[in-house]
Structure 1
Amino acid sequence: MVQIGSWQKSIEIQLTPMRISESAPVAGLDLADAENITNATLDTPVGSNLVLHPGEPNEMILQVKNLLQQSIRLSWRIEGDFPIEWCQLGTEGNELVPGAQMDAVLYFHVPASFFEDQEALRVGKKEKLELNYRSRVIVKVDPGTEYEQIEEADFGLYIRPYSAYMEFLPQMYHEVDFIGRFLKIFEQTYQPIVDSFNTMWANLDPLTAPKALLPFLAHWVGWSVEASWEMPQQRRLIRRAVELYRWRGTRNGLRLYLHLYTGLPLDEDLPESDKRIGIIEAFGPGFVLGAADLGERAVLGGGKPYHFSVRLRPIHPNSLDEELVRRIIDQEKPAFCTYDLSIENPG
């Protein structure tokens, strides 16, 4: 801390990182940056250092306490050899009453592409990516007056890649900065393979698989992919192809196929006449001696044998392709059956 003038010290400041690193960034086997370790960096208290992982925000709390018996006004400034856009300062105001304490927050955020951005290599510094930065926060008391005093606090900023592999090592290795940076090399090499293996199930599910894999999955279950089908419909049909094979030739199988194509609900709890996809069998036993009475129940001839009616009630008008619907019915019905199709468009 620096004080200008011979009068009483007016404020006391303290820096506290919100996330303290387990290792001292310039300690241990950190040989790569040995040339950059200056006396000023070594003199910086370890507790005032802030380790930043690209893409992850971090904060430093600046506590200011008024040591005088009168109110004071404050102004703030951040200096350092790091890009200034990495830091934002949040304060509760600039007035501090006697004996009170105020907390200011230094918000730091390093771009996620820090290690991949070639512009970060500075010409004139051996074209080496800087990882260690020196910073200083300057607090002025009653700026612009004859009673102006200045308090300063130095701290270090250290850019380090986050390594999940450190969690597999004993705690004693967490205290060596070089170990984490060394393991990051292997993590970046092998982790994409591990991630691909962990998400392999998504490549085998037609609902989540990449579009390029759909023909392979369709061939796997013996399903014929047609260009006239929309992509969501193709995914649903491929996923339930085996179930459609199992129910082929039945009412449930035809209703399921039409449900996957049209997106209309199955309405399993509703009567057949109220369903959005209605399939009604029109044939009956006809007039049987001893079993039928003359009247409403008597039907001479029994109607068309093995005939059924399909009634679709789409939500949006003209949203169904009648020719495609007929192809679906012809494919799913028994060969000896006949049918009627009715599409009741709303309005």
Structure 2
Amino acid sequence: MLQTLFSTPLVSIQLTPMRIPEAVPDRESTWLAPDGIATESIAQKSLLVHPGEPSEIVVQVKNLAQRNLRLILKVEGNFPSEWCQVVTEDSKIAPGAQMDAVLYFSIPANYFEDQQAINPENKDRLVLNFHSRVYVYIDPGTEKEQIQEEEFNLYIRPHSRYINFLPIIYREVDFIGRFIKIFEETVEPMVESFNVMWANLDSLTAPHALLPFLAHWVAWPLDPVWDIAQQRRLIRRAIELYRWRGTRKGLRLYLHLYTGLPLDDHIPQETNKHISITEPFSRGFVLDSAKLGEDAVLGGGQPYHFNVRLRSDRLKNIDEILVRQIIEQEKPAFSTYDLFIENFQ
């Protein structure tokens, strides 16, 4: 026989929401007893859920009977069943013992933005408040099956940071929280854009559409031969390249940005570097120390000449024509050079 009311309840049910709303709708602010006296604030039996953020209610069921009870807990409400997951312990509890269960609620993150919510032709208003019940079935499957229940409310509200800046008296009004969220959604994108403005001015993080603007700032020509990652690095180092143009350091830096080969600043010997730029007779003719054929010559030779040697294990990724264009652009106009591209062993 099914019973819903008991003179002496067999179990007691206590609900503990993990997130209680600061404000509830005015029409539901209190539960009223028959004599009109407010008996319990509905906020204490309500769960606040933000879309995309999990929330939970702890259900504690205590056995008040003098015998073992077998219990089954179920949740029903006017919300989609997939929003709630019930996790319980052992269904059997001894006299005076307590069973703990947890109701996990998870609302879709796009609850306020999905097409059903924003479609102007949809005549059904977006539901923000749901009423639910926790049912405890005692000795299910027997003739003595009984039911006890406890009500709670589920409030879905957008997460608002601006509400924390209001005096507490305004935060106790549910409409104020939803109203200020309108201004937050309007102003916050501008605030966020201002906070990340630095990223728009850095060529490594700026949107692709801003690269021509940043290149114009530093008077750097955009060449479609270079890929996007290389162009970003060149724009960022443009001023440094201008400063060292015509020098060994400037040419090595430019070739490093294109090829990705290391600068090897820690290697003292120039010929051992991945990007080696050497002059055949760098010391010139010094009396008492020069040796013919090694660091000095008599007659002939190529004045203002240097050698560029690239050592890489990815030779297919190096375009010799583009490398020569870089050298022609960076070297002094009167100098000559030889280019060697070798496999790095």
Bin of the TM-score, shorter chain as denominator length: 0.7 to 0.9
Partners of 2:200 and 2:124 in 1: CA distance: 42
* Native 8 Å contact 2:29 2:42 kept in 1: no
Question: What residue number does 1:308 align with?
Answer: 306
Partners of 1:97 and 1:274 in 2: CA distance: 81
Partners of 1:322 and 1:93 in 2: CA distance: 74
- Is the counterpart of residue 84 in structure 1 residue 77 in structure 2? no
TM-score in terms of structure 1 length: 0.87
Cα deviation for residue 230 of structure 1 reads 0.7
Q: Secondary structure at the match of 1:119?
A: helix
* Native 8 Å contact 1:133 1:156 kept in 2: yes
* Native 8 Å contact 2:48 2:157 kept in 1: yes
Output the amino acid matched with 2:21.
Answer: S
TM alignment of 1:289-308, pairs within 5 A = 289-292=287-290, 299-301=297-299, 303-308=301-306
Number of aligned residue pairs? 336
TM alignment of 1:105-184, pairs within 5 A = 105-120=102-117, 127-184=124-181
Question: What residue number does 2:18 align with?
Answer: 18
- Is the counterpart of residue 242 in structure 1 residue 236 in structure 2? no
Greater displacement, 309-318 / 203-212: 309-318
TM alignment of 1:329-344, pairs within 5 A = 329-344=327-342
- Aligned-residue CA RMSD (Å): 2.9
Q: Identify if the C-alpha distance between structure 1 residues 160 and 285 changes in structure 2 by more than 3 Å, giving closer, same or farther.
A: closer
Q: Secondary structure at the match of 1:90?
A: strand
TM-score in terms of structure 2 length: 0.87
Partners of 1:163 and 1:234 in 2: CA distance: 40
Q: Secondary structure at the match of 2:22?
A: coil
* Native 8 Å contact 1:318 1:345 kept in 2: no
Cα deviation for residue 301 of structure 1 reads 3.9
Greater displacement, 64-73 / 195-204: 64-73
Q: Secondary structure at the match of 1:344?
A: strand
* Native 8 Å contact 2:86 2:104 kept in 1: yes
- Is the counterpart of residue 324 in structure 1 residue 316 in structure 2? no
Output the amino acid matched with 1:263.
Answer: G
Cα deviation for residue 85 of structure 1 reads 1.6
* Native 8 Å contact 1:282 1:303 kept in 2: no
Question: What residue number does 2:210 align with?
Answer: 213
Partners of 1:184 and 1:288 in 2: CA distance: 80
Cα deviation for residue 117 of structure 1 reads 2.4
1:279 to 277, 280, 294: 277
Cα deviation for residue 242 of structure 1 reads 0.8
Unpaired runs of at least 5, structure 1? 28-33
* Native 8 Å contact 1:173 1:179 kept in 2: yes
Q: Secondary structure at the match of 1:143?
A: coil
Q: Identify if the C-alpha distance between structure 1 residues 186 and 297 changes in structure 2 by more than 3 Å, giving closer, same or farther.
A: closer
Q: Secondary structure at the match of 2:175?
A: helix
Deviations 1:220-279 (A, max 9, x none): 110011111111001110111111101111111111111111112211101322222121
Q: Identify if the C-alpha distance between structure 1 residues 92 and 300 changes in structure 2 by more than 3 Å, giving closer, same or farther.
A: farther
Output the amino acid matched with 2:124.
Answer: E
Q: Secondary structure at the match of 1:20?
A: coil
Q: Secondary structure at the match of 1:102?
A: strand
Partners of 1:52 and 1:202 in 2: CA distance: 34
Deviations 1:147-196 (A, max 9, x none): 32222111001111222111211222221111111101111122112222
Partners of 1:62 and 1:190 in 2: CA distance: 40
Cα deviation for residue 96 of structure 1 reads 2.7
Output the amino acid matched with 2:20.
Answer: I
Question: What residue number does 2:35 align with?
Answer: none
Cα deviation for residue 335 of structure 1 reads 1.0
* Native 8 Å contact 2:129 2:153 kept in 1: yes
Q: Secondary structure at the match of 2:255?
A: helix
2:256 to 259, 263, 268: 259
Cα deviation for residue 211 of structure 1 reads 0.7
Q: Identify if the C-alpha distance between structure 1 residues 299 and 121 changes in structure 2 by more than 3 Å, giving closer, same or farther.
A: closer
